[in-house]
Homo-oligomer: A and B are copies of this chain.
Amino acid sequence: MTDLFCVADILKEKDNIEILTHHYPDGDTLGSAYALCLMLQSLGKHARVITSGTVARKYDFLKKGVEMQSFEREFVVSVDVAAASLLGENQAEYEDIIDLCIDHHGTNSISAKNSYVDANAAAASEIIYELSKAMDIELTQDMASCIYTGISTDTGCFRYSNTTPCTMLIASELMAVTPNWHQINTEMFEVKTREKLNLERMVYDTLEYSCEGKCALIYTTLEMQEKAGIGDDEMEGLASIPRQIEGVLLGITMREKADGTFKISVRSNKDVSASDFCARFGGGGHKAAAGCTVEGDLETVKNLLLSAAREML
């Protein structure tokens, strides 16, 4: 494990840098990647962000100020990528050539020449903020918007237990630099399309309790998605629905994918570990929020998950 000043020194020496996000990128991996890209470009270096899977339109603003540059890559950084499999379509090309891994998942298993993993950071973007200090780069409004987005999305807008007093100090500074922090929150947390609302109404009808109310499960099918008229890039946020019900310790969200699998998102309360639950199905993540993929039809997968829940609770 490298310290942050070493990371700064390594990056200062390098040029022609590619920055990898995780598959189906969220606000934190994108915010980290574009902030870092802006930081490197501000030093006169060549840098670009490489994503995998659909990127939701609402994240388009993160690219603001980023120059499109063509170059031969010489150095590869991954941000917020906990495991090689999360590189998605980029896994084969990149998994063995990552020079620097920056992450905040304690379970990080990326094999990189240098790694900086800080599991106490609320978001990978929080590490990028610290890195900007270590690299002595003054944050521009665009950089601050990226970092704010990463921190705010990964902490549920400063609500989740991963938030720290330090997170708040960082956010305070970022808010002073980027006047559009409120617009970011509105777009990240508030704005719902009519189609999304339609889907939520359908999802509420799938709600099922088990284990004396300690487990709640919801699902979406491709048919529901089509009926509601919404794309894959708008499917975020459903996973918080089952966990928030009073008495629920394990909230499971199943999402049917076109390849015959279900993407499972698990959220847990109190001492129940979502990542232990997902590990049973070859997945992982954080204690209170984790994911996995399970093959099979709706009933089969649901029964597998519910029997695992019964064993655990």
Contacts and interface: CB of A to CB of B under 8 A. Distances in A.
Interface stretch (A8-16, A19-27, A100-108, A154-162): A154-162
A246 B158 contact: no
A168 interface: yes
A70 to B, nearest CB: 36
A176 interface: yes
Contacts of A186: 269
Contact of A157 (B159, B213, B243, B245): B159
A245 B197 contact: yes
Chain multiplicity (copies): 2
B185 A245 contact: no
A158 B152 CA distance: 10
B246 A189 contact: no
A164 interface: yes
Contacts of A193: 245-246
A143 to B, nearest CB: 17
Interface residues of A, number: 39
A160 B182 contact: yes
A257 interface: no
Nearest to A200: B204
Given A169-B172, A172-B168, A192 B158 contact: no
Given A182-B161, A204-B201, A245 B173 contact: no
A246 B195 CA distance: 10
Interface string A263-284: 0000001000000000000000
A192 B246 contact: yes
A72 interface: no
B197 A159 contact: no
Contacts of A205: 201
Contacts of A169: 168-169, 172
Given A182-B160, A182-B161, A185-B159, A246 B194 contact: yes
Given A157-B159, A168-B168, 6 more contacts: A159-B189, A165-B175, A168-B171, A169-B169, A192-B244, A194-B246
> Shortest 7 CB-CB distances between A and B: which pairs?
A168-B172, A165-B172, A161-B182, A190-B244, A158-B158, A157-B159, A159-B185
25 contacts: A158-B158, A158-B171, A159-B185, A159-B190, A163-B182, A165-B172, A165-B173, A165-B176, A168-B168, A168-B169, A168-B172, A169-B169, A190-B243, A191-B245, A191-B246, A192-B245, A193-B245, A194-B213, A194-B245, A194-B246, A197-B204, A197-B207, A197-B245, A200-B204, A201-B205
